[in-house]
């Protein structure tokens, strides 16, 4: 190991954060939701369509769903908001992430915003939104001459 400087504790702890951020970068750049690097680390999500439902699952371990998690639907967007409060200890070390984290996800066309449901089990928040298969058929719109 000649020529290599010893890593500090802080450098070793931040390396997984950098790897995590880099792995999610291509998806973030092509996503309409544009999560920030901080939100990607703090709240990982998966979304899929299954049996006429749009399903979003978010990793939120150690949260109290009644106190720490808020789910809203606003104008075609699903908003998941969580807050982890830091517990103060006289001594020790923590690598937990504390703070407020928000993810906004565009709902698919046909989503029924009035029937959104959410449940929290074993650190996973699952939000389900029914989606109508019916789409309005394309139709010609006549153009009127004026003036």
Closest CA to 127 of 31, 59, 66, 62: 59
- Render pLDDT for 19-61 as a digit per residue (tens, 0 to 9): 666 766 666 665 555 544 544 456 889 999 999 999 999 999 8
Q: Give the separation between CA 58 and CA 47, rounded to whole angstroms.
A: 9
Quick one: what percent of the chain has pLDDT higher than 70? 67
Q: Which CATH number, 2.60.40.790, 1.10.443.10, 3.90.79.10, 3.40.50.720, labels domain 42-86+100-130? A: 2.60.40.790
Alpha helices in 31-116 (DSSP H): 37-42, 65-68
Instruction: Enumerate the domain spans of the chain.
Output: 42-86+100-130
Q: Which pTM does this prediction carry?
A: 0.60
Q: What does the pLDDT read at residue 73?
A: 95
Q: Give the separation between CA 135 and CA 140, rounded to whole angstroms.
A: 16
Chain centroid to CA 133: 25
Q: Which residues of 41-74 are buried (b: 16+ CB within 10 A; e: fewer)?
A: bbbebebeeeeebbebebebeebeeeebbebebe
The helix (run of H) or strand (run of E) holding residue 79 is strand 77-84
Q: What is the mean pLDDT of residues 130-145?
A: 84
């Amino acid at each position: 190991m000649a020529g290599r400087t010893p890593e500090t504790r802080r450098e070793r702890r931040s390396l997984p954060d950098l790897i995590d951020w880099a792995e999610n970068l291509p998806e973030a750049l092509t996503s309409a939701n544009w999560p920030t690097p901080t939100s990607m680390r703090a709240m990982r999500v998966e979304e899929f369509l299954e049996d006429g439902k749009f399903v979003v699952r978010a990793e939120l371990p150690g949260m109290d769903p009644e106190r720490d998690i808020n789910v809203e639907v606003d104008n075609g967007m699903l908003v998941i908001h969580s807050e982890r409060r830091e517990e103060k200890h006289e001594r020790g070390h923590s690598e937990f992430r504390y703070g407020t984290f928000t993810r906004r996800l565009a709902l698919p066309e046909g989503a029924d915003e009035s029937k959104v449901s959410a449940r929290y089990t074993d650190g996973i928040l699952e939000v389900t939104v029914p989606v109508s298969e019916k789409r309005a058929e394309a139709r010609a719109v006549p153009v009127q001459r004026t003036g």
